[in-house]
Each structure stands twice: as structure tokens, then as C-alpha cells.
Copies of this chain bind each other. A is one copy, B any other.
Amino acid sequence: MKETLIKEIKRVELKNPILIEGLPGLGLVGRITTRYLIKQLKAEKIAYLYSPHFPYYVLVGKKGSVRLPRGVFYAWKNESGANDLMFFTGDCQAQTIEGQYEVSNSILEFAKKYNVKTIITVGGYRMEVKDKPKVFAAATNQNLLKMALEAGANVSSVGNPIVGAAGLILGLAPFKNVEALCLLGETRGYLPDPQAAKSVLEVLFKLLNFSVDLADLEKEIVKAEKIIDRLKKVEEKRVLQAEEIKKERDKRITYIS
């Protein structure tokens, strides 16, 4: 394996497929979003992507099984709509600059094999979120962007680069005559953020005119909120203690001087 390599498991027929890509990144928003869709839609594994630019270890699974870090393509036949869906998610991003270009290129090439004309990449956008996380959109094409805005997304602010595969796929798409849209959910970014994933999903539902049940995601959101509350309390306590210690110290110094 000298280069990024795609291993097909199964060849399926897809009608006007759209590819949704989400790899690990800020708040794991991209990965949570795609994995949730894959699970709820019972999408089917069709190919693996391996790369010598992925980390040089194997992951250990249940029952002592092992496997290389990898990306996975899934397919879902949309009985009631105009577009079947493909998904791409995985364990990691490429670890080198050239690897990032190579992996994004391979994803695009595989999509082309399935005649994909539109790719939607999803991820997180670092922000001190206050209320419901917003979704920012950027696209290779103004029509596509307009549709995303009509589905509830906002225009991404100028100047902030979109890092990793979620961005590079958009950058490389025009070279392959593919249109691409990026949807980024606001997230603090340092913890898995199902709330941000929910915001992204809601835009996707309106945009692609389908939906899945969100009950399981809501449970994840409740769990995530509890973790954040606990961390907040730990932090508050730490700050209080630090203040006490400081006061004590100040007293002594005041006493001395």
C-alpha cells in the first residue's frame, strides 16, 4: 500500500446519488451526523478506503479483532425521493499535508465512479455557542448555497478557512466537475457534540427532503449536556479553590508588609 486505496465490497446501482461526507473533526460533528444517518437509514457498506497517510496503528475491536484505521462508503436507496444517498465516514483524517490532498482526491474519484454530481461535506465550526447551534454553509456553486440557506443554513463568515477533508473536497470538486456544499454546525469543539449534529441534520432534511427519527440523538444530547454540567461544576470548584488560596496568600503578604 503505497497510496490511498479503495477496496470495493459490493457494487450497487444508485439513482442520481448525492454523497454526504463526515470525518472526525471539531466536536466530531461530521462523524456523528453521518454515522447517525447511516444507522437510522440502515445504509449498506459498499467500500473501504485505506491510506498510508492514516495513523500507523491498528484499532482493536470487540473480541480481540483488529483492523487498520479506514474510511467507509455506504449506500442508501431512497425509495421515495429523486436521489439515492451515499455516505463517507471513518476513523481519522490523513496525518500529512500531501495525504490530506490524496485522500480527498480519492473520495472524489470514487464518487465520480458512481456518477455523483453533488457532494455535501459536514463538520463543526468553533464558536462560543449560546442557544441552538447555527449551521454555516459554503459551496462551490451559488445555486447549491442558496438551497442550503433556504433550508436554514447561514452564510459562513469570510476568512475562516475550512480545514481538512470537509474543506478540501470542496476545493478539489471543481477539478472533477462535481458540485459541493459544506455544512458546519456551531460547536465549542472540545467534546463530541450531538447538539451541533442535530442542527446540521435539520438542514440536511429540509435540503434533501427526507428525514429520520431523532429520538436516539436526543438521548445523546441529554448525555452530553450532563457531561458538560459536570465539567462546569468541576471547573467552578477549581476556580473557587484557586481564589481561596490566593486570598490566603494575599492576607499573609498584607500582614507582612
Contact = CB atoms under 8 A, between A and B. Distances in A.
Interface of A: 1-2, 52-68, 94-102, 105, 137-140, 142, 145, 155-164, 167-168, 170-172, 175, 182, 251-253, 255-257
Contacts of A168: 56-58, 68
Contacts of A157: 60
A162 B67 CA distance: 10
Contact of A60 (B65, B67, B101, B156): B156
A58 B171 contact: yes
Q: State the main secondary structure of chain A at its contact with B.
A: mixed
Nearest to A137: B64
A160 to B, nearest CB: 6
A149 to B, nearest CB: 8
A73 B2 CA distance: 23
Contacts of A142: 63, 65
Contacts of A182: 66
Given A63-B142, A68-B172, A256-B252, A57 B98 contact: no
Contact of A57 (B96, B105, B158, B162): B162
Given A68-B172, A163-B56, A257-B252, A95 B95 contact: no
B164 A60 contact: no
Nearest to A153: B64
Nearest to A7: B175
Contact of A159 (B60, B140, B172): B60
Interface centre among A1, A53, A66 (most CB of B within 10 A): A66
Nearest to A255: B257
A253 B245 CA distance: 14
Nearest to A164: B56
A253 B256 CA distance: 9
Contacts of A58: 138, 161-162, 167-168, 170-171
A155 B63 contact: yes
A167 B57 contact: yes
B96 A97 contact: yes
27 contacts: A1-B105, A52-B97, A52-B98, A53-B97, A53-B98, A55-B97, A55-B161, A57-B171, A58-B162, A58-B170, A59-B161, A64-B137, A64-B138, A64-B155, A64-B156, A65-B145, A66-B139, A66-B167, A66-B182, A68-B172, A95-B97, A97-B99, A252-B253, A255-B256, A255-B257, A256-B256, A256-B257
